[in-house]
Amino acid sequence: MDEILKQISVCVERGKINKLSPFPADMKGMDGADELAKQALDDSATPDTILNACTSGMQRIGEKFGCGEAFVPELLMSAKAMNAVMVHLKPFFQKGSVKSKGRFVIGTVAGDLHDIGKNLVSIVVEGNGWQVVDLGVDVKPAKFITAIQENTDCIVGLSALLTTTMVNMANTVKEIKAKYPRTKIIVGGAPLTAEAAKGMGADGYAPDPQNAVVMLDSFIG
Q: Which domains does the chain have, with CATH numbers?
A: 2-95 (1.10.1240.10), 103-220 (3.40.50.280)
pLDDT band at 62 (very low <50, low <70, confident <90, very high): confident
pLDDT, tens only, 175-211? 999 999 999 999 999 889 999 999 999 999 998 888 9
Calculate mean pLDDT across residues 48-68. 87
pLDDT at 91: 84
pLDDT, tens only, 125-158? 887 889 999 999 999 999 999 999 999 999 999 9
pLDDT at 96: 67
Reply yes or no: is the peptide bond before residue 209 cis, omega within 30 of 0.
Answer: no
Contact (CB, 8 A) for 192 and 205:
yes
pLDDT(1) > 80? no
Burial 170-181 (b: 16+ CB within 10 A, else e): bbbbeebbeebe
Average pLDDT, the chain: 92
Which amino acid type is present at position 48?
A: D
> Higher model confidence: residue 179 or residue 55?
179
Calculate mean pLDDT across residues 37-61. 91
pLDDT at 63: 85
